[in-house]
Amino acid sequence: MVNVIGLGYIGLPTALMLASHGVEVVGTDYNPEVVDRLRSGHTTFKEDGLEELFADAINNNIVFDVSYKETDTYIISVPTPYDRFSKKVDACYVVDAFKRVLKVAHQNAVVIIESTISPGTIDKAIRPVLEQSERKDINLAHAPERIIPGNMVYELVHNNRTIGADDREIGEYVKSLYESFCEGEIVVTDIRTAEMTKVVENTYRAVNIAFANELMKICHHDNLDVYEIIRICNMHPRVNILQPGPGVGGHCISVDPWFLVGDYPSLAKVIDESMKTNDAMPAFVLHRVYDIMKERGMKDLSRVGLYGLTYKENVDDMRESPTLQLLESQEKHLGYPLKVYDPLILEDKVENQFHDFDSFLNSVDFVVIMVAHDEIREKEQMLSNKIVLDTRNVLTINNVYHL
Ligand SMILES: NC(=O)c1ccc[n+]([C@@H]2O[C@H](COP(=O)([O-])OP(=O)(O)OC[C@H]3O[C@@H](n4cnc5c(N)ncnc54)[C@H](O)[C@@H]3O)[C@@H](O)[C@H]2O)c1
């Protein structure tokens, strides 16, 4: 039996995937609301294919609980935020979960940490806990997750994976567990290498996004069309520039690269600048809004609305989203809270939030597209009499402003 600890965006689909492939699973989350909801037969977030996977798993081998179970295999998938001051990983959730596991784990159990952690975290934060306990028999492994919200169920099956372990035998055991559902290639390596690869992958993405954002600012300064320039450059066989945007959110690309800055401040210079570049994008969008308002003789900020609250299109995850960052920076400057609408955020999360597209549109003259949900692509004609700033470059209607 596998006890999956932490049933969020990563833990839940992983637990369901194992269960629907014949592995007996107990999913544990210390939040009783999460457990109650899952026990009542409902998923806790929206994701393509998750409902079907859930139905399949509960017909098979899964139960949900707030308590940890006595068993020989654990997967820990709890949050790993970063400390905003030091930029280092905050491993307190992982350490807490690990300590609780140690109280119940079978002799020689394998504890797999799936949470993203900075290189050396297992040595610095987890091994000392093990050494100070009576549980020197426990085996450690790291199996970082690569899936992307919006395509999680597909990617769980098809992505390649990395497993880090102290010895080959444990690595191969963990590999065989993931092979129950994963059709991608699974590489077994040591723990520090596995820790580093995950953080490096997200850092690579962050740096490349920052390059596109910087390019956009240069082009904007000289009135050049950045999208056309990127399109032409990408016709070069060895160039693949990403698209600029209003900033970076979510729990990976906007967080993990900071771990390297925190741990290697004198070495991670490009990474540091890249993260600052991306973090400055919501404020840049706000400046564009003010400039466009001036150009159009518009004075009333209460007639400006942001379309999209989530950190990417077609998901309901709003953690660290550029829209939230923008609203926060506006609040700091005591600005009027802009109107906001997102078709996927059904509960009230911010001030001035609308839940109906028509009333949102009726209440604004200027719409800023922050997220390219399918809805806005389908309904773009409804924006034809509005001032529009399309920060994602997804609309095809005329007279739209870009970054
Ligand atoms: N969300 C993503 O897209 C993504 C992708 C790849 C990797 N990751 C990494 O996966 C890890 C988990 O992220 P997430 O997005 O699933 O987080 P999440 O916040 O969605 O879920 C974490 C869950 O863990 C529970 N929890 C916290 N501490 C616990 C404890 N001690 N015992 C039991 N339950 C506990 C919380 O109640 C919560 O339900 C993080 O390290 C993250 O960086 C996330």
State how far Cα 397 lies from the chain centre: 30
pLDDT above 70: percentage of residues in the chain: 100
Q: Kindly give the number of the ligand 1 atom that is closest to the alpha carbon of 11.
A: 16
The yes-or-no answer on residue 252 being catalytic is yes
Question: What pLDDT sits at residue 86?
Answer: 85
In sequence order, which ranges of 21-167 are alpha helices (DSSP H)? 32-39, 50-58, 92-104, 121, 127-132, 152-158
Question: What single-letter amino acid sits at 50?
Answer: L
Question: What pLDDT sits at residue 329?
Answer: 85
Question: What pLDDT sits at residue 334?
Answer: 65
**Distance (Å) from CA 76 to ligand 1 centroid:** 9
**Distance (Å) from CA 148 to ligand 1 centroid:** 14
The yes-or-no answer on residue 198 being catalytic is yes
d(CA 342, CA 373): 9
Q: Are 228 and 175 in contact (CB under 8 A)?
A: no
d(CA 376, CA 397): 11
Query: Quick one: tokens of 42?
Result: 């409902």
Query: Beta-carbon neighbour count of residue 236 at 10 Å?
Result: 9
Q: Is 297 left (phi over 0), alpha (psi -120 to 50) or beta?
A: left
**pLDDT tens string 316-360:** 999 999 999 999 988 777 677 899 999 999 999 999 999 999 999
Question: What pLDDT sits at residue 332?
Answer: 76
Query: Quick one: tokens of 262?
Result: 């925190």
User: For the chain, which residues score pLDDT lower than 50?
Assistant: none
| Mutation pick for ligand 1 pocket among 78, 100, 111, 161 (CB with most ligand atoms within 8 Å) | 78
Protein residue with its CA nearest to atom 25 in ligand 1: 6
Question: What single-letter amino acid sits at 84?
Answer: R
Considering the candidates 198, 219, 312, 339, report the single residue annotated as catalytic: 198
Backbone angles phi, psi at 25, to 5 degrees: -130, 140
**Distance (Å) from CA 115 to ligand 1 centroid:** 7
pTM score of the predicted model? 0.92
**Distance (Å) from CA 94 to ligand 1 centroid:** 9
Question: What pLDDT sits at residue 36?
Answer: 98
